[in-house]
Structure 1
Amino acid sequence: MLKEGKIMTIGIDKIAFATGQYVLKMDDLADARKEDPEKFSKGLMLDALSITPPTEDIITLGASAAEKILNDEDKEKIDMVILATESSIDQSKAGAVYLHSLLGIQPFARSIEMKEACYSATAALNYAKLHVEKHPESRVLVVASDIAKYGIKSSGESTQGSGAVAMLITSNPSILILTDDNLAQTRDVMDFWRPNYSTTPFVNGMYSTKQYLDSLKTTWREYQKQTGFKISDFAAFCFHIPFPKLAFKGLKKLISETVSASHKEQLLKHFQDSIIYSRQIGNIYTGSLYLGLLSMLENSQTLRAGDTIGFFSYGSGAVCEIFSARLAEGFQKQIQTSHIKELDNRIQLTVFDYEKLFFEEIELDAKGNAYLDFYRTGPFYLSGIKNHQRIYKRVKDK
């Protein structure tokens, strides 16, 4: 319970990520596609992509991320699980129900799934915040999990990726305090979409880039009007990262305003910290904004408690949002050391093996059963499909 006179704050108390156990190096992809490697390393600011086998999906990735941060007390107190994704595995059953079961969360909890392209994790965060405002003792698990998959040799192939970010939302959080200055914008555009009948998305790449940057510009202008904030009020700014170079263009639009040379240097340094993981993983859709936050928190040496961080969330179609948050006292103690070593332990794929994995589809027999080959995964894996029902297990149960 809150002590008398103490103002309740709400935000991120714990955060972690998980990604696929296989990696494709961008230099290898460039060589196979007869492209200049700098087209990827500088043009996209990408070095590698996480690739997932058929035994890994948004459920296994999401559960693996959440497993890193939840203890027994959390599992007893969580009363809501929200999965944000645009890689849904079922048109009816929420993926959050699978997460609830795999993680052993107490039964009297609400489990739902949210969708709006790459934006929905921000909507989930807002919903979680409102719930905790009403129920201060509650804990809400928000998981953003996606697999970005495009066609072989398509324009989007070099911006694939996979991963999940799990966040525990509580009162009096240990890491990040959310504020009440959110401003969203919706516009009906067809820059990126995936109809139910297609396993890969349709993308209007240049148009999508323009929509991202124009949404940032117009929302930022209105946000400034409503809040009075200037870019100089922020110690850092995190962006949705379809690929790091686009987020970098967004930052440059914001710092084109009058800022001191030292503050500009600070913003640029924190931005570089925020893309360290994305450069090695690629696009993880709903989780990419929050992967950027985690990357910055784990790798920055200059962030301090009380610093204000700005966020730009964007989901094609399109919905975007700008908001701010403050770093909590002692946040450094809650942050793990850098995940770079974990990323270095992924199995490197040749382009031939990557393409073979890409085309390996789950094939059902007449009774709706499928038996899957063994691949390395995180703590959880998809073991097969029985009577059209997906069967998940822990690796130790093999």
Structure 2
Amino acid sequence: MDIGIDKINFFTSNLYVDMTELAIARNEDPDKYLIGIGQSKMAVIPPTQDIVTMGANAAESMLTDEDKEDIDLVIVGTESGIDNSKSAAAYIADLLGLRDDIRTFEIKQACYGATAALQMAKAQVTLNPDSKALIIGADIAKYGLNTPGEVTQGGGAVAMLVSANPKLLSFEGGSTYLSRNIMDFWRPLGHSEALVDGKYSSNVYLDFFNNVYSNYKDKTGFTIDNFEALLFHLPYTKMGLKALREAQKDADAKVSAKLAHRFEDSRLYNRQVGNLYTGSLYLSLLSLLENNDDLKSGDRLGLFSYGSGAQGEFFAMLLRKDYRKYLMNTTNEFLQKRTCISVEEYEKIYLKSLHYENNSELDLDMDDAQFVLTGIKENQRQYKNRI
């Protein structure tokens, strides 16, 4: 029985800041951001959007009534939780109108959370082939204004429906994984902005990739020639390029060129959004599927997931027959319709989103999404479905 991703969709806010304008405002050469980091735009998440609303917005437009009836598991992978006790999945299931006899919970391990959720969904559907699982990777990356990490901020949500006999991709075999207790990136309780040792974190990312990728090849007997594309967690897109270059050391010129071309397809969306932590690997996957025109059914994709602190995993998925017919193909148009705001406007939104006041109402004028956060009442978040 094949199990995998039946549907996938993405959501972010309708606002972004241009990285050239941000570079000029920070007295930096724009090429440092555009080429050195590999980012051209950065999503700006207003106070009216959080992981709940973004997750619900990503899921709603891809789910049918039949899907909603079949879903019996909802997992949200995030490191941007809105409550120390209650899961974002419970809120999302309610906003989507899912039935009550389901499991909902939230999972955390930095940027690895959505992959952990995906693997749990695989196990759930293996045991219950008629069920479907909704997996959401949603985050808002914050490092602070005028900080070295500012250029790698962003946010959004990727929603995936996992089922038997999926239309898009099926899991192939097992995974290889690695876990170590290290301090490359962390966010203590009470901190709205992450703490990171940037150079160390980049080195650990590459070390983890080389470890799990090498172990996967040893375990399966595969070589670089067996993969039609390699996908990476992209905290910024240059990071994935560095990992790809590690893999290309084993490839001949033809294979190396193929992988490089498909990597460019896979980072188109991430370049325009920035870091969405748990969702970034799967936004890259969506970017590849929607922007590449030479992959075919049966092709093997290698996926590297990494979460600081740290956890890494490498696994493979196979493209299903006629998978292109089932893609929504709405992301490019969605990203192009966003509104570019000034650096000054971005800074005001950023500072306002750091603190939510109790018994307050939020201004919805700049947010055109279906699901929005309207305010806080008696310490309870107030959500609205505009449709």
TM bucket by the smaller chain? Answer: over 0.9
The partner residue of 1:370 within 360, 364, 369 is 360
What is the CA-CA distance between 1:341 and the residue it aligns to? 2.2
Asked if 1:262 corresponds to 2:254, the answer is yes
The partner residue of 1:380 within 344, 347, 371 is 371
- Give the corresponding residue for 2:265: 273
Asked if 1:48 corresponds to 2:41, the answer is yes
What is the CA-CA distance between 1:206 and the residue it aligns to? 0.2
Question: How far apart in 2 are the matches of 1:163 and 1:264?
Answer: 31
Conserved in 1, the CA contact under 8 Å of 2:121 and 2:133? yes
The partner residue of 1:282 within 251, 274, 295 is 274
The SS at the match of 1:189 is coil
The SS at the match of 1:270 is helix
What is the CA-CA distance between 1:363 and the residue it aligns to? 4.3
Tell me the TM-score normalized by structure 2: 0.98
Question: How far apart in 1 are the matches of 2:324 and 2:361?
Answer: 44
What is the CA-CA distance between 1:377 and the residue it aligns to? 4.0
Question: How far apart in 2 are the matches of 1:177 and 1:143?
Answer: 18
The partner residue of 2:169 within 176, 185, 194 is 176
* Deviation string, structure 1 residues 67-89 (Cα, Å, up to 9, x no partner): 12101001111000000100000
Calculate percent identity across the aligned residue pairs: 45
Asked if 1:316 corresponds to 2:308, the answer is yes
Question: How far apart in 2 are the matches of 1:129 and 1:339?
Answer: 26
Question: How far apart in 1 are the matches of 2:368 and 2:248?
Answer: 41
Gaps of 5+ in 1: 1-7
Tell me the TM-score normalized by structure 1: 0.95
* Deviation string, structure 1 residues 140-173 (Cα, Å, up to 9, x no partner): 0001000011110011000000110000000000
Asked if 1:240 corresponds to 2:233, the answer is yes
Asked if 1:193 corresponds to 2:193, the answer is no
Amino acid at match of 1:387: E
Question: How far apart in 1 are the matches of 2:328 and 2:372?
Answer: 24
- Give the corresponding residue for 1:291: 283
Asked if 1:221 corresponds to 2:214, the answer is yes
Question: How far apart in 1 are the matches of 2:199 and 2:386?
Answer: 42
Conserved in 2, the CA contact under 8 Å of 1:384 and 1:391? yes
Conserved in 2, the CA contact under 8 Å of 1:56 and 1:377? no
Amino acid at match of 2:351: F
The SS at the match of 1:181 is strand
Question: How far apart in 2 are the matches of 1:184 and 1:45?
Answer: 27
What is the CA-CA distance between 1:100 and the residue it aligns to? 0.3
The partner residue of 1:253 within 240, 246, 255 is 246
Amino acid at match of 1:286: T
What is the CA-CA distance between 1:335 and the residue it aligns to? 1.1
Question: How far apart in 1 are the matches of 2:47 and 2:368?
Answer: 10
The partner residue of 1:59 within 52, 55, 69 is 52
Amino acid at match of 1:73: E
What is the CA-CA distance between 1:210 and the residue it aligns to? 0.3
Conserved in 1, the CA contact under 8 Å of 2:10 and 2:331? no
Q: CA 1:381–1:220 in structure 2 vs 1: closer, same or farther (change >3 Å)? A: same
Q: CA 1:132–1:42 in structure 2 vs 1: closer, same or farther (change >3 Å)? A: same
User: 166-175 vs 225-234, which deviates more?
Assistant: 225-234
Question: How far apart in 1 are the matches of 2:179 and 2:329?
Answer: 37
- Give the corresponding residue for 1:352: 344
Question: How far apart in 2 are the matches of 1:306 and 1:167?
Answer: 20
- Give the corresponding residue for 1:394: 385
The SS at the match of 2:352 is coil
